[in-house]
Amino acid sequence: MPRTEQPKHPETNTGAQPAQRGPKPVFRFSLSSFLGALVLNLLISPFVDQLRGGTLIETMLITLVLLCAVLSIAGGRGALVGVVLVAPAGIGEWMNYWQPELLIYVATRGAGLLFIGFVVVQLLRFILYAPRVDSEVLCAAIAGYLLSGLAWSLAYALLSRLDPSSFVFTLSPKSGQPMNGFTGLYFSFITLSTVGYGDIIPVSEVARMLAMVEAMFGMFYMTLLIARLVSLYSSKTPPRTPTETKS
């Protein structure tokens, strides 16, 4: 009798580990480059205010940060939303430079706050759903913290423009002037890190509310972020055997 061949079945690897579920990479633009743009903005800001063309340089720095931010989330689902939000923020910065009017300033700062808030949410989602800790996750964590401080500095500058008496400068002759540029960044980050030197005091109800919320945000951000990074690292660390423990 002719021998019938059994149909060959593809071999299944029963010992293979199941694919780990996790988010697909959403960042096409390196987050380290985005973080570098943020750090550059912070380091140059105190020297920009003293220059003759400081307003132009400040506008260029903010535009650079916005551009790097939208490129960082260009691979995610919210890329279109990011482009829609960054367009009025970026265009408004240059409109405010060429024609500094209150209405344009308010609209520009409002658009910037919406866009930065959206980017921070995307960074936090990337950190929370990351399957492991790598350089991109660490850069996202630091960038989210710095970007949050930048967002509050825009809010303080906007409030100071609408109500110049919202802040009191106890050790500076700038009392009563709008809190723009590096002054806003300085007050934002000392509030975010809950340091506070007493040289700038929020006196209006809205200013106190913003400072209070920022201080709480900074505390919870660091606490939850460290807990998340530690859990990611612990889940990837292989358990030690008794032999390794004795040695």
Residues of the chain with pLDDT below 50 are 1-7, 9-27, 239, 241-247
Residues 6+ apart with CB under 8 A from 210: 152, 155, 156, 159, 202
pLDDT digits (tens, 9 = 90+) for 57-112: 888 888 888 888 888 876 656 678 888 888 888 888 888 888 888 888 889 889 99
- Please tell me the predicted confidence (pLDDT) of residue 154: 92
- Please tell me the predicted confidence (pLDDT) of residue 27: 45
- Please tell me the predicted confidence (pLDDT) of residue 242: 45
Residue 164 DSSP SS3 = helix
Q: Is 78 left (phi over 0), alpha (psi -120 to 50) or beta?
A: alpha
Residue appearing with tokens 């079945």:
9
Amino acid at 181: G
Q: State the Cα–Cα distance between residues 97 and 153, nearest whole angstrom.
A: 18
Alpha-carbon distance values, 101 to 57, 93, 95, 175, 183 (Å)? 19, 11, 9, 22, 21
Q: For residue 50, what are its two tokens?
A: 């003293």
- Please tell me the predicted confidence (pLDDT) of residue 12: 42
